[in-house]
Amino acid sequence: MADQTQAGALAPLPPNGRRVFLADLHLDGADTPRAKTFRALLKRLAAEAASTPTELYILGDLFEYWEEYHRQVAALYEADLAALEAAHKAGVKIFLLSGNRDFAYGKYVKRRFGATLLGDGGALRFGDGRNVWLEHGDLLCTADRRYLRYRAIVRSWPVKLLFWLMPWSIAKGFIGDIRQRTAADKKKKSAKEVEIDRDAARSRLEAHSCQLLMCGHTHRPLADDLGAGFRLIVLPAWCDTCAGYREKAGGLMAVRFEPDGTPGPADAQGKPAPA
């Protein structure tokens, strides 16, 4: 696993700055409510960035599928990419972690919306002094052995080379096939297989000298202590709730977003909560 701790890492937020953390948007190129709310949120962040340093962290599975070998992939997500680009131009800093769906990020997203790629994980420092480790969460589902084997294969260079060489007409078929299999596979998985391994989470925090681990992937939101001062937050899946987390001077809080991008208080499940 690439150690990204140095990539702009551990920089505390400027006093008036804010960060937004989202995961598992699973955008598919259609004008779904989850896509429209995301674009509305980007517009709002763009407006805020004029007066407030604003950072957006996407903890993987922004897109249902991503690679940069075929221009047809980016074309599919044009409305979302245009919204990300507009936010970037307005000053929003955008950080992407690899998901199990969208791990093949490269030059395109850097050029198009200035994305900082954090790959399989990255660290940052909160205003309250805590060091925070971010990752997608698939590597922490250690009971899901079949997926972890598959993961190693699809990310290997021979498979990448194969996809690079493949004409779009054939690649498209493969992608549809992978999506169907993943969906069918998900239904077959046991509860344990889709759970974050708490020991693995704790080891990760110890290895990177962090106290809080934030991830997504399981679509089972959670905010829990791991003991010895360590804490785990599994973000709600945006595709289910249009919710996430926000850090500003007051600390870290769960938020959900109205269709126009207005934030409101939420609980750890991403459900509306009293202010």
Percent of residues in the chain assigned helix, strand, coil, to nearest 5? 35, 25, 40
Task: Please count the helices (runs of H) and the strands (runs of E) in the chain.
Answer: 9, 12
Q: Binding marks (x or -) toward Mn ion, 14..53, rule CB under 5 A? A: ----------------------------------------
Taking the complex as a whole, the smallest distance from the CB of residue 99 to Mn ion amounts, in Å, to 5
Taking the complex as a whole, the smallest distance from the CB of residue 234 to Mn ion amounts, in Å, to 11
Binding of residue 195 to Mn ion (CB under 5 A): no
92 vs 235, beta carbon nearer Mn ion? 235
217 Ramachandran zone, left/alpha/beta (phi>0; psi -120 to 50): left
132 vs 235, beta carbon nearer Mn ion? 235
From 95-103, 118-126, 165-173, 237-245, give the range in contact with Mn ion by CB under 5 A.
95-103
5 vs 100, beta carbon nearer Mn ion? 100
116 vs 182, beta carbon nearer Mn ion? 182
Which residues touch 23 (CB under 8 Å, ≥6 apart)?
58, 59, 60, 61, 136, 137, 215, 216, 217, 235, 236, 237, 238, 244
Binding of residue 61 to Mn ion (CB under 5 A): yes
Tokens of 112: 């198009």
Task: State residue 242 phi and psi, 5-degree precision.
Answer: 50, 45
Q: Which of 98, 100, 211, 241 binds Mn ion (CB under 5 A)?
A: 100
- CA–CA separation, 211 vs 78, rounded Å? 38
Task: State residue 254 phi and psi, 5-degree precision.
Answer: -75, 135
CB 41 within 8 A of CB 81: no
Binding of residue 55 to Mn ion (CB under 5 A): no
29 vs 53, beta carbon nearer Mn ion? 29
Nearest-CA neighbor of 64 among 245, 214, 190, 237?
A: 237
Q: Which of 44, 88, 217, 256 binds Mn ion (CB under 5 A)?
A: 217
How many residues bind Mn ion (CB under 5 A)? The answer is 4
For Mn ion, the binding residues (CB under 5 A) are 61, 99-100, 217
